[in-house]
Amino acid sequence: MSSFPIVDARGIRKEFPNMTSPVLDDVDIAVDSGEIVALMGPSGSGKSTLMNILGCLDGPTRGSYALGGRDVSTLTARERAWVRLHYIGFVFQSFHLIADHTVLENVTLPLYYAGIDRQHREARAMEMIERVGLGHRVGHRPAQLSGGEKQRVAIARAVSGQPRLLLADEPTGALDTKTGNEVMELLLELHEARALTLVIVTHDPEVAAFCHRQILLRDGKVVSDGRTHAAYA
Amino acid sequence: MRRTRSEVLGRAVRTAIRNPGRTSLTMLGLAIGVAAFLAMVSFGSGARSSVMEQFEVLGTRVIYIWTKVNDRSFGGSARPVTDADVEALLRESVTLERVVPRITEVQNVKSDYASLPTDVTGTMPDYVHIREWPMLTGGMFDETDVQQRAKVAVVGTTVVRELFGGRDPVGKLITIGTSLPVRIIGVLASKGQRTTGDDLDEIILIPATTYEAFLGMPTGYHGLMLQVRHLGLLETAIAEAGPIMRRSHRLTDIEQDDFRFSSPAQAAQLARLVSTILTSLLIGIAAVSLLVGGIGVMNIQLVSVAERTQEIGIRSAVGASPRQIMGQFLAEAVVISFTGSLAGVGLGWLASTLVARAMAWSGTLSLWTMIGAAAFGTSVGVAFGYLPAKRAAQLQPIDALRHE
């Protein structure tokens, strides 16, 4: 497996205007290309904020962040959107599908914003939908799908733009154990097939066990980072 | 890029259709604004052309001189207006093309079938030229008829209808008053009614000499009709004709004019000014209603942005640029405004057609006025849709995503 860092964040500090202590304080995190990393920690530890920064949804107050070798810590809103479009895919706990769009339309969204014409983006989206096993559901709307199916649609959407980094925020948090495991297996399959780098925010040790590496945050700081199954109380 | 633009619009249409009640109410606001605007524009141009029509009916280059002989409010003793005044004006003025005397009184007029009290006017052949009044059949009496005090008459279409049941009266006899039989030699084309209700076609013209000889003219003519060489000379002609009339009446410097002027052209100018002011006022009010329609678009788009905050967050997370988000909401404003404006043009066209019909005005809206109104309404809607779209584009993706 190749091992140059796709994510190289150093000294990341994040403050919010109406909070006394920083949410992230001097966080260093490097993720190699092709790695699967679990980002763990109790609520309020800053793991979601870190994910937002790694996903270019937000910028750090201080610190540097290089994504795929280029500095993205000081980009404008428009440039960050471009980076998200071409490098990053997101999977959220609550799926975040657009309610009045069909499965197909949800999955084509990144391709639409990338300016790919209708025919090509629908072909690519169909391929992804079949890949996640929902070929029979393309015309359905999210409300007509089960939780596991919704998350499969979200995953199909996240990878349809062929990102290099997939960020998943509690991807199994809203699902039962069996469905959750199926979703994790799907993520691992895609990782294998596409050499995806996966960063999964979770507080579920079972999910963390799927990962190569676990990073534990507490009070805005990295308290452990290693290939052991971190003791997590 | 063109393909994506049409796609953005297509998506906006779908969003608009998804919420039909709200969309149509928003459109209605704008439609009413555009319709009001169009109706006022057409009302204005209709009123103006109606003023012009009335003005043309009276003759475009005409000045009237009225005697003050029968004017009780006039202090001194007024001298009658006579043929000597006509000759003086024609001889001395350089601005006048024609001068015609006129005396009009109501007389009872009888045919073999019916009788009718109607205006009988004694005048000269040029009368019809000054009034720019074409003949329907037959011809106007001529100088020979005037010299011979011929018992001939030219009549209007109302007289033909009332006295002859609409049959061709040329060659027939009518009796004016008790004892003046005249032969009809021509019929004047119809001029219709004035807005005051006067029937312009209820008219009988006979030579002034015939009038004087058989009906009597104890206080001279009622007045003169002066035709100016061209419209621009109206003021000059009045300034020139005044002193000529004073000399002809041998007025001393301390005596007031024993005649007065009136001019339909001046009255028409005033009427036009009034209708222009009125129209601008109404268009102003219509513009306000268009503005209110625009604010409606802004309101609804602000609500839409607020409702779809999470959707905006999702789009943004997926990689939509602020510009693309803004484009989406602007496209919705375009769709709503354009459709609303089109409906408004339809409504406005209907309203102005009905008004024009009710007021018997000619001419409704030109195609370009309608296109202009649609474009204007659309721009208003889009201008007001800008702020909500901008707000959507400026949302922070993480805040928008967290929004429930």
Say yes or no for a CB contact (<8 Å) between B319 and A92.
Answer: no
pLDDT in tens, B325-353: 999 999 999 999 999 999 999 998 888 88
pTM over 0.80: no
The yes-or-no verdict on residue A231 having pLDDT over 50 is no
Distance of CA B88 to the CA centre of its chain: 37
pLDDT band for B93, please (50, 70, 90 cuts). Answer: very high
The yes-or-no verdict on residue A233 having pLDDT over 50 is no
Q: Which residues of A, range 79-118, sit inside 8 Å of B by Cβ?
A: 81-82, 84-86, 88, 90, 92, 96-100, 109-110, 112-115, 117-118
Please tell me the distance in Å from A109's CA to the nearest CA on chain B.
Answer: 7
Of B18, B311, B319, the CB nearest to A85: B319
Answer whether B86's CB lies under 8 Å from B67's CB: no
pLDDT band for B269, please (50, 70, 90 cuts). Answer: confident
Task: Determine contact: B115 vs chain A, CB below 8 A.
Answer: no
The yes-or-no verdict on residue B317 having pLDDT over 80 is yes
| Interval B313-319 mean pLDDT | 94
Task: Determine contact: B398 vs chain A, CB below 8 A.
Answer: yes
Q: Which residue of B has its CA nearest to A58?
A: B398
pLDDT in tens, A169-224: 999 988 999 999 999 999 999 999 888 999 999 988 888 988 989 999 999 999 99
Asked if this assembly's ipTM is beyond 0.90, the reply is yes
Return the structure tokens found at B46. 């209709």
Amino acid at B167: R
The yes-or-no verdict on residue A1 having pLDDT over 70 is no
The yes-or-no verdict on residue B380 having pLDDT over 50 is yes
pLDDT in tens, B178-210: 889 999 999 999 887 665 667 889 999 999 999
Task: Determine contact: B317 vs chain A, CB below 8 A.
Answer: yes
Task: Determine contact: B390 vs chain A, CB below 8 A.
Answer: no
pLDDT band for B364, please (50, 70, 90 cuts). Answer: low
Q: What is the pLDDT of residue B206?
A: 95
Say yes or no for a CB contact (<8 Å) between A113 and B314.
Answer: no
The CA-based angle A156-A159-A163, given to 5 degrees, is 170
The yes-or-no verdict on residue B223 having pLDDT over 80 is yes
State the Cα–Cα distance between residues B171 and B194, nearest whole angstrom: 29
Answer whether B373's CB lies under 8 Å from B348's CB: yes
Closest to B36 measured CA to CA, from B279, B275, B277, B282: B282
Which one is predicted more confidently, A201 or B47? Answer: A201
The yes-or-no verdict on residue B266 having pLDDT over 80 is no
Radius of gyration for the alpha carbons in chain A, expressed in angstroms and rounded: 17
Return the structure tokens found at B234. 């109206």
Please tell me the distance in Å from B388's CA to the nearest CA on chain A.
Answer: 18
Task: Determine contact: B2 vs chain A, CB below 8 A.
Answer: no
pLDDT in tens, B94-151: 999 999 999 999 999 999 888 999 999 999 999 999 988 999 999 999 999 999 999 9
| Interval B270-288 mean pLDDT | 84
Say yes or no for a CB contact (<8 Å) between B3 and A113.
Answer: no
Say yes or no for a CB contact (<8 Å) between A57 and B401.
Answer: yes
Of A77, A98, A112, the CB nearest to B314: A98
